[in-house]
Chains A and B, each alone.
Chain A
Amino acid sequence: MREKTPQRILFLAFLFLAMSGLFLSARPSAVVLAQQPTPSDDEVNAIAHQLFCPVCENTPLDVCDTEACRQWRDLIRQMLAEGRTEAEIKQYFADNYGVRVLSEPPVEGFNWLAYVVPPVAFLLGAYLLFRAFRTWQRLAKEPATADSPQVPPAAADDQYAARFEEELKKRE
């Protein structure tokens, strides 16, 4: 009863894969950009893309057409020319305009909830489902009693599938 069936191992492996993807995929690390006289549009945009316009809702800074954003892009360019790193520039913006300019809440304090709640809820769901599976499997192993619920007769789709498989076997 307690031995691990191949199915169960497969199921657990599958769950593990799905979850490890959730937890382990790396957060992009800060890249130190080479210092040069006038930073190109691409270098500016690489950082601007990770910042959000504090004026318009949910618009990344690299594609925002307001005058404010234009000035902020110029500011990024200037800071890059001064040799500041990407991390420093992002920190500067967060300090001056609030953490909402960052594309994700910084992992600290109350914001931990943002990152903890979804995986915990998902694992809880997975656990409940796993327990339900075990109950149903136990039912399958017990001999049927008179008052155990009846499985409805196979529907048309199943009958079709069965006939189809039979036909195939005959031909092969």
Chain B
Amino acid sequence: MFAEFGFGILILTFALSLFAVGAAVFGYYGKSDRWVESARRAQQLTFPLITLAALALIYLLVTGHYEVKYVYSVTDVTMPLYLKVTALWGGQPGSLLFWSWLLSAFATAVTLRKWDRDREFLPWVVVVTSVTLTFFLALIIFFENPFVRWWQTLSGDFVAQMFAPSGGVLATPNNGEGLNPLLRHPGMIIHPPMLYLGFVSFVIPYAFAIAALVTGRTDDRWIRLTRRWTLMAWLFLSCGLVLGMRWAYDVLGWGGYWGWDPVEIAALMPWLTGTPFLHSVMIEEKRGMLKPWNIFLIILTYSLVIFGTFLTRSGVLSSVHAFAQSAIGPMFFTFIGATFIISAALLITRWKDLRASLPMNSMLSREALFLLNNLLFMGILIVCLWGVLFPLISELVTGVKVTVGPPFYERAVGPLFGALIALMGIAPLSAWGRSTVRTLGRAMWKPAIPTVLTPVILFAFGMRNWIALVGFTLIAFVLFITLHEYWRGVRARMNAQGEGFFTALGRLAARNRRRYGGYLIHIALVVMAIGILGIEVFQTTTQKSLATGESLDISGYTVRYDSLAQFDHTDGRYVTRAVLSVFKDGEFLQEIYPRYDLYPSGQPMTIAGVRTTLADDLYVVLVNWEDVSTALAPFKVYHNPLINWLWIGSILFIIGYLVAAWPEKEQE
């Protein structure tokens, strides 16, 4: 009953969403406010409706209706309630429904605002959000229906269909297959919603950009209206990426956080265009330049959002041929192509209105440096996009499958990220419109002194790796410059107002949130860079089979294998857990417990034993793919220097974001 209900609601929503598109277009060209209003209401109604459909699916998941194929494939009787609920996005059909639900929530939120001053945007914002929603609903209804059920036909076969085949009876299995064990991790539970939130909120600025293009109201109003949405999209996307890294680090058991897998790159690419967009819209706000470029960036971001979903959902990554066979692949491809071409065509027709060449005095001015930032981000994007596409192109053209792996990306992207860090140090000091070597030098010489000392000190302490020396020097450059900027502001307030240090710091940030919040985000990013540089350059690893009581040495640590236990867990897992003692300089530090769990489905999950400090992680994996016995157990040990600064930096990032984006009191 709930399955039919959910499916019926989806069809109704699909029709409503189509109606919204038509009514908005008709209302715009017929200059009929009533039709536009009707479109807006229809669009707003999609949110409660999809909520009902999602609730129906959640009900089926929680109550164990295994006759529903989706419920069967992602849950089983032993799973705790919270995992059954979050299984909503544990598989393809469910996550598409979840995606659509978030999109309609955001679209509704944006059409609920007052539109008095920007009424002309409204119909086109409704059109863009509703077209996107209609597309996703079509995918769900026609190809990835989460409400499909198992039927047994007269011939005894089991088929999955929405409605009963002739003579078929509903087949209800006693238990489901259960969620992929790798997905049973807090990081994996929050990671997809965060990414989807990031993806979906980029649809809003895109919708406004298209509205600006169609209506010809091409001042920077659309940017000001969507600034908060863009920032929110960026925050969620960033959090989604970091949570994904954390999940990979905790669960995948290869001692790293990022493997340059196409799925990871698919999520990174919208971030690579969203970040420069966030910077270059400031040039438009301050100087009225670069309008076409900003619109192009947001079109690209939207396309990459859809492209990222396409890459991970169509099966194209395993093979070009899987893409051709899968039903949703060609649909996605057509949709991305069509939206990109239509958007670009709109941009070209408005090109004349948008063009504004303004004088720029200096290549060191803030806007010039921001443009350099844009160029570097585009460089990284090209490397990523080409790295993901090349294997597909190669398979299509030559029939030969190739792998584009980490070395390709690291070699190309490393120097570009390094240059970006250098820019993060210089750009905040340069002024809009004009800056010279002299003004920059004056602002820079004090923090430059400790910056120059950094590599000297690191070298004196024995660091010989030139990549690390350059990297840490750039990081120190940004840190000292940004802290010096804070210090200048705080000192001025302390002197002028007689405030204490902390009061001055608080008020300084409160008076100019965007600037000092942005600085804090820069600090957060270089703190994250410390962690990334640490693990990328200095990670060491060793693997050895140890007899009980035997030990191995790695980077100053000694790890001793004490014992091993194997037992059944109440939820059906078969757990193999080792006990190891960690020593440094002969002194006992702590015990760690690497283990692997074998799920009833036969899938293993590896949980590393980790000793974690600010300086390093000692990360030990019980190697379940070799023979394990109590007498002799194989361990893979990683020494990951500085990795925790990656996570600390990401928390700082969120704080910086809150400072920058916290709603200001209305200015009189």
Chain A residues within CB distance 8 Å of chain B: 5-8, 10-11, 14, 17-18, 21-22, 25, 27-28, 40-42, 45, 52, 57-58, 60, 63-66, 69-70, 98-105, 109-111, 113-114, 117-118, 121-122, 125-126, 129, 132-133, 135-137, 139-142, 148-149, 151-152, 154-155, 157-158, 160-161, 164, 167-168, 171
CB-CB under 8 A for A149 and B358, given A22-B412, A171-B495: yes
**Would you give 19 A-B contacts (Cβ < 8 Å), ordered by A?**
A11-B363, A14-B419, A18-B416, A21-B415, A25-B411, A58-B262, A58-B405, A98-B401, A102-B402, A105-B394, A118-B382, A125-B378, A129-B372, A133-B368, A141-B359, A155-B285, A157-B515, A164-B489, A168-B492
Q: Does B78 contact A (CB under 8 A)?
A: no
CB within 8 Å of A: which B368-407 residues? 368, 371-372, 375-376, 378-379, 382-383, 386-387, 390-391, 393-394, 397-398, 400-407
> Are A21's CB and B408's CB within 8 A?
no
Query: What are the residues of chain A within 8 A of B221 when measuring CB–CB?
Result: none
CB within 8 Å of A: which B30-84 residues? none
Query: What are the residues of chain B within 8 A of A70 when measuring CB–CB?
Result: 625-626
Please give 10 more A-B residue pairs, beta carbons under 8 A apart, in addition to A14-B372, A121-B382, A160-B515.
Answer: A5-B363, A21-B415, A40-B544, A52-B405, A58-B262, A63-B253, A98-B400, A118-B412, A151-B433, A167-B492
Query: What are the residues of chain A within 8 A of B543 when measuring CB–CB?
Result: 41-42, 45
A contact face: mostly helix, strand, loop, or mixed = helix
CB within 8 Å of A: which B400-440 residues? 400-408, 411-412, 414-416, 418-419, 422, 431-433, 436-437
> Are B492's CB and A164's CB within 8 A?
yes
CA distance A110 to B390 in the complex (A): 10
Q: Bin chain B's interface residue count.
A: 35 or more
CA distance A19 to B323 in the complex (A): 35
> Are A114's CB and B386's CB within 8 A?
yes
Shortest distance in angstroms between B97's beta carbon and chain A's nearest beta carbon? 26
Shortest distance in angstroms between B326's beta carbon and chain A's nearest beta carbon? 15
Query: What are the residues of chain A within 8 A of B624 when measuring CB–CB?
Result: 65
Query: What are the residues of chain B within 8 A of A129 when measuring CB–CB?
Result: 371-372, 375
> Are B397's CB and A135's CB within 8 A?
no
CB-CB under 8 A for A133 and B403, given A42-B542, A114-B390: no
Shortest distance in angstroms between B474's beta carbon and chain A's nearest beta carbon? 12
> Are B414's CB and A63's CB within 8 A?
no
CA distance A125 to B375 in the complex (A): 7
Interface string of B603-637 (1 = CB under 8 A from A): 01000000000000000000011100000001010
Shortest distance in angstroms between B633's beta carbon and chain A's nearest beta carbon? 13
Q: Does B364 contact A (CB under 8 A)?
A: yes
Least CB separation from A168: chain B residue: B492
Least CB separation from B368: chain A residue: A133
> Are B286's CB and A155's CB within 8 A?
yes
Query: What are the residues of chain B within 8 A of A157 when measuring CB–CB?
Result: 286, 512, 514-515
Least CB separation from A41: chain B residue: B543
Interface string of B355-371 (1 = CB under 8 A from A): 01111111110001001
Q: Does B553 contact A (CB under 8 A)?
A: no
Which of B356, B363, B624 is most buried by chain A, counting CB atoms within 10 A of its CB?
A: B363
Q: Does B321 contact A (CB under 8 A)?
A: no
Query: What are the residues of chain A within 8 A of B375 when measuring CB–CB?
Result: 122, 125-126, 129
Query: What are the residues of chain A within 8 A of B419 when measuring CB–CB?
Result: 14, 17-18, 21
CA distance A164 to B393 in the complex (A): 55
